């Protein structure tokens, strides 16, 4: 009888040990998943995009292939982060170029415009690489401020009317951008360079 009383205890303790090991394995898997470093593809791809925009011109094929490989492996939420980061970088570089153009002596302006043309060429290749569904025979989408296209900047029903000073500042900024784009187009035409097209 002593033997029969001991057998259920060993079977119960064996079951408890198996359940404990299973629970520990599940907890370890959750901990690994929770603390495992998140994907570094977005920061790496943004850094690669920044270097492509800084260098300008025809991007290195290996760099473009790396961007395409990274984009192909990214989930949709990471792609949104990537697009936003690259768009912000492009807008920052563009604003710097505009500011520099209007504060530089006239003799140096052609060099600045040449650099901008090269940056636009790199931007075109980059935008094609960042969009897995892009058609290389069609103009890629250009990053826009606030995620809106040029046509989407009209007033929405929920928009509050801007005060007069804000509206004037925005109009002045648009006028400066238009002057810069006209100077860029004129310079490209004088050099017989076709500017890349975007949507």
pLDDT tens, residue by residue, 181-192: 999 999 999 999
- Could you report the per-residue pLDDT of 79-96, keeping only the tens digit for each? 889 999 999 999 999 999
Q: In this predicted model, what pLDDT tens digit does every residue of 54-71 receive, in sequence order?
A: 888 888 889 999 999 999
What is the average pLDDT value for the chain, to the nearest integer? 82
Higher pLDDT, 94 or 158: 94
- How far the first Cα of the chain sits from its last, in Å, is 87
Q: Write out pLDDT tens, residues 112-155.
A: 999 999 999 999 999 999 988 888 888 888 776 544 343 444 44
What is the Rg, in whole angstroms, of the alpha carbon atoms belonging to the chain? 28
Contacts of 46 (CB under 8 A, 6+ apart): 82, 85, 86, 89
> What is the pTM for the complete model shown?
0.69
Q: How confident is the model at residue 163 (pLDDT cuts 50, 70, 90)?
A: confident
What whole-number distance in Å separates Cα of residue 26 and Cα of residue 56? 50
Query: Which candidate, 120, 112, 139, 114, places its Cα nearest to that of 128?
Result: 139
């Amino acid at each position: 009888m002593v033997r029969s009383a001991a057998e259920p205890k060993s079977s119960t303790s064996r079951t408890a040990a198996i359940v404990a090991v299973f629970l520990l394995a599940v907890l370890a898997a959750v901990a690994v998943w929770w603390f495992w470093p998140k994907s570094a593809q977005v920061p790496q791809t943004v850094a690669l995009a920044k270097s492509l925009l800084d260098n300008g011109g025809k991007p290195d094929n290996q760099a473009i292939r790396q961007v395409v490989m990274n984009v192909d492996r990214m989930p949709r939420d990471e792609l949104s982060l990537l697009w936003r980061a690259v768009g912000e970088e492009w807008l920052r570089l563009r604003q710097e170029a505009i500011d520099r153009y209007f504060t530089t002596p006239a003799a140096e302006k052609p060099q600045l415009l040449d650099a901008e043309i090269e940056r636009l060429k790199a931007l075109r290749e980059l935008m094609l690489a960042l969009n897995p569904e892009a058609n290389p025979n069609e103009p890629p989408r250009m990053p826009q401020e606030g995620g809106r296209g040029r046509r989407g900047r009209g007033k929405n029903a929920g928009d509050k009317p801007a005060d007069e000073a804000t509206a004037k500042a925005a109009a002045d900024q648009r006028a400066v951008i238009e002057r810069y784009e006209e100077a860029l187009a004129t310079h490209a035409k004088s050099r017989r360079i076709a500017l890349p097209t975007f949507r």
